[in-house]
Amino acid sequence: MAMTLSMPTTDDAPPSLDESTFAGTVDDLPLSTRFRLGPEITALQAAFLERHGFILFSQVAKPDEVAAILADIQAITDELVESGERSIYGAPIWLGTDPDGKPLLQRMAFTTVMSVLLKGFVRDERFEPVRRVVGEDARIGDEEKDGAVFNTYVDGSLRPSLAWHTDALRGVFYHLKPAAPMFNIGLHFDRIRPEDGGLYLLPGTHEQSLWSTRFSKIHFLSQAPDANEVHVETWPGDLTIHDGRMWHRVATSEKTGWESVRRSMYVPYVRDAYDPKSEDSQPLLYHRLFNRVMKWKGAR
């Protein structure tokens, strides 16, 4: 009798959708669909993103790349702590406290300025179709807006979660028109199940009509679950595209200590006139507002 050798013993990612054999339409796919990133965005993937304002590509970064990136972020954290530097190009760096009592990098802007590894990684050819979703003329704005933003969430830290918001608010600070799609590209570094908290979205709210009716939520204050919210389950290396006009939040993990860690990085693709920040840049209004909140919560 043949033995079954393929019994899954690990929590491997479920297979991504095989579009070569899929005969249905976007209506047949659940929001939890895991797509495969190929050399081009397929018509089905484009339709899914347009319908929901969100799409996930399975494990675009490989395990060894995830490990190397996380090691590099740790090295940068150590350097920042050592140097006493608390802002990069005017954007505050928030250091909380990790479960071992050590400084924890909660949010860092301009990550690809700090990390040569990441600056090269985000330019890998595999991301080219993602760049073209934003626009044929889109570029990676290492030194523009907030650059690449790296987030760490840990239960009990300064920033275990992030309340409901749309990224369009930040667009308003940057004088963008929230009427146009505004795609945010996220890399996810941890295995996140529903009990691990993480990203929740309100599908469809990227469309203006819905967006305005949903405006009843207060930006960055309300944490309450929404009846229509959808959880984004991730495996390390997953890539997401979400329309920044859609309402979303990051929930606190039900776990404690290192078990609760979640790390994400958002890569800035920009299309407007080149407008780099520099060492001389001053904190923006929204940096100053958030900085006050973080200091009040006990940022180091």
Ligand X SMILES: O=C(O)CCC(=O)C(=O)O
Using CB under 6 A, which of 151, 152, 205, 260 touches ligand X? 151
| Residue whose tokens read 């060894």 | 64
284 binds ligand X (CB under 6 A): no
Neighbours of 79 (CB within 10 A): 11
186 binds ligand X (CB under 6 A): yes
Contacts of 124 (CB under 8 A, 6+ apart): none
Residue 148 or 149: the one with the smaller Cβ distance to ligand X is 149
Q: Which of residues 143-202 bind Fe ion (CB under 5 A)?
A: 167
Using CB under 6 A, which of 250, 267, 270, 294 touches ligand X? 250
182 binds ligand X (CB under 6 A): no
Smallest distance, ligand X to C-beta of residue 261, A: 12
197 binds ligand X (CB under 6 A): no
Q: How far apart are CA 258 and CA 281, in angstroms?
A: 35
- Kindly give the pairing relationship between strand 34-35 and strand 54-57: parallel
Q: How far apart are CA 51 and CA 184, in angstroms?
A: 16
Phi-psi region of 216 (alpha: psi -120 to 50; beta: other; left: phi over 0): alpha
Shortest CA distance to 299 belongs to which of 160, 103, 153?
A: 103
User: For Fe ion, what does the binding mask look like between residues 105 and 144, x meaning CB under 5 A?
Assistant: ----------------------------------------
Q: Which of residues 4-63 bind Fe ion (CB under 5 A)?
A: none
Q: How far apart are CA 229 and CA 188, in angstroms?
A: 19
Residue 44 or 162: the one with the smaller Cβ distance to ligand X is 162
Structure tokens at 17: 């959708």
Residue 44 or 169: the one with the smaller Cβ distance to ligand X is 169
Positions in the binding site for Fe ion (CB under 5 A)? 167
Provide the binding-site residues for ligand X, judged by CB under 6 A: 149, 151, 162, 167, 186, 199, 248, 250, 264
